[in-house]
Amino acid sequence: MITRKQSAAAFGFAFAAAWIGFNFGYAVLCLVGAGVFYVAASYLDGELDLGELGERLPQRPSGSRPASASRARVR
């Protein structure tokens, strides 16, 4: 039996493949499209919790700026 995630991934792959054509360089985009649709179906099935995923990411202290923003401009 085919699950919703597998169907979504197949649809994403087919959609990207039909849109792009048969160029080898763009075939990688087909795989990315399938992955995006697979993740979306996982979220809809309740197997992926974006809140929990956000908690796992490293947090920057509030008020801090990235290192690139703190450098002074030299003219």
- Summarize pLDDT for 17-67 with one digit per residue, the tens: 877 776 766 667 777 888 898 889 988 898 888 788 788 878 777 666 665
pLDDT reported for residue 56: 80
pTM, two decimals, is: 0.50
Look at residue 73 in the predicted model and tell me its pLDDT. 57
Residue 32 and residue 13: Cα distance in Å, rounded?
Answer: 8
- Ramachandran area for residue 3 (φ above 0: left; ψ -120 to 50: alpha; else beta): beta
Q: What is the pLDDT of residue 34?
A: 84
